[in-house]
Structure 1
Amino acid sequence: MQIKSNVTFKEYVKLLYKLTYERPVMKLILAFAGIILVWIIFYYLSIFDLPEPLIYQYLTLVLIFIVQPIVIYTTIRRNYFSSNYLMEPLEMEITSHEIKIKGDSFYLEIKWHKIYKIVEKPRWFLLYQNSLSAILIPKNVMSAAEVVNFRGILKKIEDDLIIDLKNPEGIKSAQ
């Protein structure tokens, strides 16, 4: 299967914000900020008899709602524009044994058993090479049939890996 893709900066930003803010720790931080915000609103509306918020509560909100997203954005921007892999148009050849990726400045072949983790998102396939680095395959460059075909390849790979894990020596069991 052949795929041609070019991840735009806008797509990359949306994906990374989504990945960042779906992490449990980020949800916890946002919930904490939400509680502080409700406290401040309730104080000024005199809904409950709450203590007056101090400067620390306001600073916490500014850090969580303004500074943190700006820092995340600048990190995303720096990563995108410093990586040829992300900015270049890519040609990918996907087989049941490996994935080959060709960009303007690099060529990469990875055997499926060397992939750390595979994640499917509503608009992306993410093929993690380690816990932080992933090959990004946008679904919008694939037809519906190609998405189904790719899922079939991933299912076959998953089944093969499960078989290999159950039988690491490659010994056939007597049935």
Structure 2
Amino acid sequence: MSKFDRTICDCCVCSMQCILQQLEGDFVQIATTSRVGAAAPPIEGTLNSANNFIAKTSAGSVPICNITAVGIPFPESNDTPFDVNVKPIRNDKTGECSCCEDPVTNELNRLVGKGVDIEYIGDGTPFVDSVIIEKVGEGIVTVIDPGANVDGRIPKFAISTCYITKIEELPQ
């Protein structure tokens, strides 16, 4: 994993690039801020590369700063292939990351292993999903979507914490 560059890109863009680099060669779904419209589907295709803040897929290139979430829709089993490493949480930030990303990260960290409704910007509109929080890192939360279970294949995805608009803990 690359080191933090100590820029505004640290909390979400660098972290998302790190996730994408681990998924190179996989078929992925990508939600973005830039695809406007309630019916705009996520970008789907093979992720060829993620470098210099551009994700290149078989469906075209996407600026990583516009990627709100990425996932593998139906992995072959419950434990493959979406076992990504997240960057460790940093506490020495200032500016935007300090006032926007840090509080969301802290709240998600408190909810690891629990079910939540999570709302985030996806394809130009808010997207809500009931998920289980798996891992929390700098600018990224990975989640499991048990509601989309198909033949034991449970989708997992990573969401940029900078694009989360609401978190609601589900009753246990």
TM-score by length of 1: 0.26
Structure 1 or 2: more strand by fraction: 2
TM-score by length of 2: 0.27
